[in-house]
Amino acid sequence: MSFRWIRLSVPFVLLGACLVGTGCETSSSGPAAQNPRLPEGASAAQLRPGDALGIALQGIPIPSQHNVQIDDEGLINLPYIGGIKVVGLTTSQLSAHIKRTYVEQNFYRAIDVSVTVTERFVYVGGEVQNPGRIEWAPDLTMTKAIQAAGGFTLYAKESAINIVRDQNAYTLDARLAQRSPTEDPRLLPGDSLQIDRSAF
């Protein structure tokens, strides 16, 4: 009787050891880990906070050139007309908007306006070798921006890359991005990356 009980209990003992032990594999049918998908937001052709612009005002008695940067609220300032909202516009739309504003407010009867984007950046801070601004390019991804900032420090928490876009924050895992290009999102001008410090 006792011998039969021992024979029946052995498989259950082994099963229990497998469930609580670290050496037994569990089912791999669950979904693979993924980074959160960043919202695309505005097209890269549309102006964003942080963009540096060159604005030429011509065809007026005193032509002028103005170098401005779009602030966090999406505004720039120009002579006489003050602050105007520009975020989300293209350069051609902004040129037309500035021209219309000067004429409608009776500063000039006619004016020629040209707008060019002179600099666009993303910002990388925290546990990287060279934190600061990284020049934006259409193919710039999260991992490329980190590499451009000198790579991780020894204390970086590579599973906690905080990206701020349009005042919303998202936490991504750089290790996933290094294994799969689909997990390595392209960045938009004005994005900000902050790399946490590991607790170990």
Domains, the chain, in order of start with CATH, read: 52-119 (3.30.1950.10), 121-197 (3.10.560.10)
- Give Dmax (Cα) for the chain: 111
For the chain, percent of residues with pLDDT exceeding 90 = 70
- Going by pLDDT thresholds of 50, 70 and 90, the confidence category of residue 2 is very low
Whole-number pLDDT of residue 42: 60
pLDDT (tens digit, 9 = 90+) per residue, 122-137? 999 999 999 999 999 9
Least confidently predicted of 16-25, 52-61, 66-75, 133-142: 16-25
* 151 contacts 140 by C-beta, under 8 angstroms: no
pTM for the whole thing?
0.71
pLDDT at 38: 86
Predicted confidence (pLDDT) at residue 167 exceeds the cutoff of 90:
no
How many CA atoms lie less than 13 Å away from 191 in the CB half-sphere? 27
Give per-residue burial for 69-79: e unless 16+ CB within 10 Å, then b. ebeeebebebe
Average pLDDT across the chain, whole number: 85
Judge whether 156 and 126 are in contact, CB under 8 Å: yes
pLDDT, mean of residues 151-164 = 95
Decide: 185 and 176 in contact? Cβ < 8 Å: no
CA-wise closest residue to 119 among 69, 187, 72, 44: 69
Tokens of 17: 């050891």
Q: How confident is the model at residue 40 (pLDDT cuts 50, 70, 90)?
A: confident
Residue 10 has pLDDT above 80, yes or no: no
Sign, CA dihedral 51-120-64-102, equals: negative
Sheet strands side by side (includes 52-58): 64-69, 52-58, 112-119
Two structure tokens written together for 131 = 């934190």
Are 115 and 94 in contact by the 8 Å Cβ rule? The answer is yes
> What is the pLDDT averaged over residues 137-158?
96
Is residue 27 pLDDT above 70, yes or no? no
